[in-house]
Amino acid sequence: MNLPTITAHQKIVLSLGILLGILVVIAVGYLLAPTLIYDQWIWKYYWGPVVADATGHSVSHNGVVAQEGYTLISEITYGVILVYALYALYKLLKKLDIRIDWYFCLALFPYILFGPVTRVLEDTSYFTEPFVYWFISPLIYFQTAFYVLLFLFLGYYLQKKAFSLKKTLRVLLIVFLFIDGIYTILWVLGFDYGASRIEPWFFCMLSFFAFLPLLYRFLKNQTVTINTVIFSGGLLIVLPCFFLVGRWMAGDQWSSSSGTYITVFWLIIGLISLILGIVALVAWVFRNNERIAVYKHPLNLSMLGGHLIDGITSYISIYDPWHMGLPSYIEKHPASNTLMEVWPPLFPIVKFLLIILVIFVFDVYYKKELERYPRLINLLKIGIFILGVSPGLRDLLRVTMGV
């Protein structure tokens, strides 16, 4: 008996139906047993840790205590959501015929930085309530995804409409000026979002720098691509965050700090650059060997670098092996904490070897089988890169800022 073929439309309807069914079950369960559904499940494993992270200590609701950080259940849940989100993004990009490669990864880089940088600002108690909750995982990832999709659809719309280059640039300029205008109005009205508000003239200057890649592409290549729109939009949201980090490092600190440790920043970046340089050099020397040459590809090196930032920063910040007087940190992830309890350097070593293995599986062992899915494989690589660089960069900035 032949199974019926499911069309793309039916797949979407089925997926939405399953999602709606899950939400209905949760809602009905909450109405019938709020203590079990909310207190013992949603609060304990999901929302409670977010509140605890925002307040900096464990919190209690109806006698149920929630701790900072992830739990095994929340990590599994977020992992499943991430897999489905990546698949949905893959289908969307495929439908829009957007190429997923190293240049697409570069376009996403400001958004990748936005998450860890704003998390560090949250660690400094910068954001006021209720905005602070939007800068704690997993809400920060939903916020970042919204920005990516916003500028992706904007770039796609402008491309599909086939406007002239001058009109396309004019539309983008209006969008940037509109955002500047909204920010200025909110600042004049005294809108309070954080401990140290950015003056409108500084924000407009940062907005100008974010617009420069669009102007550069227009003047040099007479084109404005979707990737450039995404990249400039990302700069628009991440440059103000780096501006605030710069203020902190310059001494304008709005909360307590154990001091800045810029030497740790350069030490970790130096170690990672050295390791990546050795890997790239070996891959170049043996470039005629396909099994080794794949390790010099930019996206593969990015994956490796992202997880080295996470592994090395966690090890150095927690154990302070060179006795630099760093603040006391703890590891929130159960898996990595277990590895470091066995032997502190084991975590970065395992991370390094794991990414080496992932690259080998994708680009060597299953290369022929996966050649038909270049978009999906590159999107998975970008996802793996984000999973490493986001927590790693946050930890690196935390220890650098003495938070």
Kindly tell me if the per-residue pLDDT of 36 is higher than 50: yes
pLDDT score of 1: 45
Kindly report the backbone phi and psi dihedral angles of residue 402, in degrees, each rounded to the nearest multiple of 5, phi listed first.
70, 35
pLDDT of residue 173: 94
Q: Using CA atoms in the order 37, 47, 144, 171, what is the torsion angle rounded to 10 degrees?
A: 80
Binning pLDDT at 50, 70 and 90, where does residue 34 land?
confident
Mean pLDDT calculated for residue range 333-345: 82
Question: Which amino acid, residue 265?
Answer: F
Of 278 and 49, which is predicted with more confidence? 278
Is residue 390 over pLDDT 80? yes
Confidence band of 5 (pLDDT split at 50, 70, 90):
low
**Four-residue CA torsion sign, 286, 289, 295, 298:** positive
Give the integer Cα–Cα distance in Å for 127 and 54.
9
Higher pLDDT, 387 or 236: 236
**Angle in degrees, 0-180, between the axes of helices 165-188 and 200-221, rounded to the nearest 10:** 170
Task: Tell me: pLDDT of 171 over 70.
Answer: yes
Half-sphere exposure of 43 (CA within 13 A, CB side): 17
In this predicted structure, the answer to whether residue 195 has a pLDDT above a threshold of 60 is yes
Read off the pLDDT of each residue in 174-189 and give the average, rounded to a whole number: 95
pLDDT band at 88, cuts 50/70/90? confident
With 80 as the cut, is the pLDDT of residue 121 above it?
A: yes
Examine the pLDDT at 193 and tell me if it is beyond 80. Answer: yes
- What is the mean predicted confidence (pLDDT) over 32-41? 80
93 or 57, higher pLDDT = 93
Instruction: State residue 3's pLDDT score.
Output: 47
Q: Are 315 and 321 in contact (CB under 8 A)?
A: yes
Residue 356 has pLDDT above 70, yes or no: yes
Rounded to an integer, the average pLDDT of 289-314 is 95
Confidence of residue 265 (pLDDT cuts 50, 70, 90): very high
Cα→Cα distances 363→166, 209, 295, 307, 336, Å: 41, 37, 9, 18, 26
Q: What pLDDT is attached to residue 289? A: 93
For 27-31, 276-280, 328-332, 372-376, which range has the lowest pLDDT when averaged over its residues?
Answer: 328-332
Considering only residues 385 and 28, tell me which one the structure prediction assigns the higher pLDDT: 385
Average pLDDT over residues 279-296: 94
Question: Which pLDDT score, from 0 to 100, does residue 56 have?
Answer: 74
What's the whole-number mean pLDDT along residues 129-153?
90
- 377 or 11, higher pLDDT: 377
Q: Is the per-residue pLDDT at 362 higher than 60?
A: yes
Percent of the chain with pLDDT over 70: 96
Among the listed ranges 45-59, 117-131, 244-258, which one has the minimum average pLDDT value?
45-59
Instruction: Quote the mean pLDDT of the chain.
Output: 88
Q: Confidence class of residue 346 from pLDDT cuts 50, 70 and 90?
A: very high
Confidence grade of residue 9 (pLDDT, cut at 50, 70, 90): low
CA 152, 396, 133, 235 dihedral sign is negative
The pairing of strands 64-66 and 59-61 is: antiparallel
pTM of the full structure: 0.87
In this structure, of 94-108, 198-212, 325-339, the range with the lowest mean pLDDT score is 325-339
Band (pLDDT 50/70/90 cuts) for residue 104 is very high
Give the mean model confidence (pLDDT) for residues 134-152.
Answer: 90
The highest-confidence range among 82-91, 215-224, 276-285, by mean pLDDT, is: 276-285
Given a cut of 80, whether residue 29 has pLDDT beyond it is no
